[in-house]
Structure 1
Amino acid sequence: MSKTDILYNGACPVCSREIAHYRRLSAARDLPHRYDDLADAENLRTWGVTADDAAKRLHVRKDGRIYVGVPAFIALWEDLPGYRWLARFVKLPGVFHVARWTYNRILAPLLYHRHVKRQRKGA
């Protein structure tokens, strides 16, 4: 299995809970996964993205390619025991389009809006 890097928003309660779950699965199976929090400026330099772009969508780097959004989840789920079926299901043409639309139009903007709101409160 090739190395998989995951860039996520550790300040997002929903994101950090989900990533913590994936991290436990990765550790239990000794998977070659690295989890990078976007709060670390060095991670952002390595990934070549801004903190704002990274906060908008999940990013996964695997086999030399960067996946963003639903394709990133699929790339990660393909490695995780118990989630491979979900990766195969979400890749189905109709399901993929609905999942991508829902993530891009509803879920990701909602989480990003909450992220921006938390950032303003902390400033």
Structure 2
Amino acid sequence: MTEILYNGRCPICSAEIAHYRARAAASGADLSFTDLNTAPLDDWGISADQATRRLHARHKGQILSGFQAFLLIWQALPRWRWLAKLVALPGLRHAVGLVYDKLAAPLLYRLHLRREAKRA
């Protein structure tokens, strides 16, 4: 079983995870999805702030985050395996990882902080 830790308060993250969850249910993929806002993060060995900064996955006792977590999801879903194979190629793997780490994840995190500030 691969467990995915995601930010359920992020509308973009929630929409994407809802899609993956539906695909996993339809295909019988061995994935589970946990909202970081209700999960005991001590079990993950990360703080709430670290958890909101990027997607995390627990697979075979190992915690992976960022692009590596997405790869686990895509590898588990039949209609997404082609993408996992493509972006796992040596040159693309590095480039896609950088785009996620330097652009997508920080942008989503800043949006999260704004939403949370409005809630306070």
Instruction: State the TM bucket, normalised to the shorter chain.
Output: over 0.9
Aligned to 1:66: 63
Aligned to 2:6: 8
Matched position secondary structure for 1:10: coil
Alpha-carbon deviations, 1:81-117, whole Å to 9, x = none?
A: 1111111111111101110111111110000000011
Aligned to 1:84: 81
Query: Would you say 1:108 and 2:101 are equivalent positions?
Result: no
Residue 46 of structure 1 deviates from its aligned partner by 2.1
Structure 1 gap ranges (5+): none
Aligned to 1:119: 116
Contact 2:44-2:63 at 8 Å conserved across structures: no
Between Structure 1 and Structure 2, how many residues are aligned? 120
Contact 2:31-2:73 at 8 Å conserved across structures: no
- Tell me which of 14, 33, 36 is aligned to 1:35: 33
Structure 2 gap ranges (5+): none
Matched position secondary structure for 1:83: helix
Residue 41 of structure 1 deviates from its aligned partner by 4.3
Aligned pairs (5 A) from 1:20-59? 20-42=18-40, 44-59=41-56
CA distance in 1 between partners of 2:30 and 2:88 (Å): 23
Identity %: 48
Aligned to 2:94: 97
Return structure 1 stretches of 4+ with deviation > 3 angstroms. Answer: none
CA distance in 2 between partners of 1:41 and 1:16 (Å): 15
Matched position secondary structure for 1:5: strand
CA distance in 1 between partners of 2:78 and 2:45 (Å): 29
Residue 61 of structure 1 deviates from its aligned partner by 1.0
Residue 51 of structure 1 deviates from its aligned partner by 1.1
CA distance in 2 between partners of 1:29 and 1:111 (Å): 29
Alpha-carbon deviations, 1:43-81, whole Å to 9, x = none?
A: x12222111111111001112211110111111111001
CA distance in 1 between partners of 2:39 and 2:85 (Å): 34
